[in-house]
Amino acid sequence: MEQLHPILTISVATSAAMLAAVAILFRRLRSPNRSLPVTAGWIETLSPEYYRPMMRLLDVRDLSRSAALPGFTPAIAYALRKQRCLLFQAYLRCLSAEFGRVCAALKLVLLNSRVDRPDLASALLRHQMRFACSVLVIRIRVFLYRWGIGAINATSLVILFDITRLQLQTLIHQTMSLPVLA
């Protein structure tokens, strides 16, 4: 019976943390992003290539190569992981902000479109949910990585950003090429 008490405490704490994470996730999805693109050419400047360094920042192989160097200590490893985590988190914030702007612009184009696209609206909602959940998981993994636990792969997040960006780009080009009916 004494073993049950710590397990119950851990279960309740984990459930509370997961509930808080879900609440934050839904709050972020509901809140409007007020920083919409200013120019029509803005979408052309977006590129997943900007996030290529993000993919390599937390590569475990790089750290293991460094560990083989003379004079490399656990303190240096921790400092290196900490610094790289901070850079990765800056990239993640930038990617999240750009994804939010792309989604907001896509919603705006969908609202003002003459053609109803429930399939695209549904896909956008799914993308937002997947992106938000992926960011949450990656943030947890970054925290663990900082202490030398696990690895991080943000490729799927960048691919999701690129898919959503391409949907916006395609929809804008389709909207611009539609004939005006009087």
**Residue 102: predicted pLDDT:** 92
Question: Would residue 22 count as lying in a domain?
Answer: no
User: In this model, does residue 157 exceed pLDDT 70?
Assistant: yes
Q: Which of 82, 75, 99, 61 shows the shortest CA–CA distance to 145?
A: 82
How large is the angle between the packed helices 74-112 and 118-146, nearest 10 degrees?
170
Listed residue (60, 52, 90, 54) closest to 77, CA to CA: 60
DSSP structural state of residue 3:
T
Q: Is residue 63 part of a domain?
A: yes
45 in a domain, yes or no?
A: yes
Q: Where are the alpha helices (DSSP H) in 58-147?
A: 60-67, 74-112, 118-146
Nearest to 99 by CA among 53, 142, 159, 139: 159
Residue 101's CB: how many other CB atoms inside 10 A?
20
Residue 43 lies inside a defined structural domain of this protein? yes
Over the stretch 1-45, which tens digit does the pLDDT of each residue have? Answer: 455 565 666 666 666 666 665 556 556 555 554 555 545 577 778
In this prediction, residues 158-180 reach a mean pLDDT of 79
> If you average pLDDT over residues 93-121, what whole number do you get?
88
What percent of the chain has a predicted confidence (pLDDT) above 90? Answer: 29
Instruction: Please give the single-letter amino acid code of residue 70.
Output: P
Query: What one-character-per-residue DSSP string does 135-151 give?
Result: HHHHHHHHHHHHTT---
Q: How many CB atoms lie within 10 A of CB 118?
A: 8
Report the domain count for the chain: 1
Range(s) of the domain holding residue 81:
32-177
Could you tell me the CA-to-CA distances from 135 to 13, 75, 127 in Å, in that order? 21, 28, 12
The answer to whether residue 129 is domain-embedded is yes
The answer to whether position 15 is within a domain reads no
Q: What is the mean pLDDT of residues 52-64?
A: 81
Q: Note whether residue 152 is domain-resident.
A: yes
* Residues shown for the chain: 182
Max alpha carbon distance in the chain (Å)?
78
Q: Which amino acid is at 45?
A: T
Stated pTM of the model: 0.71
Residue 115 covered by a domain? yes
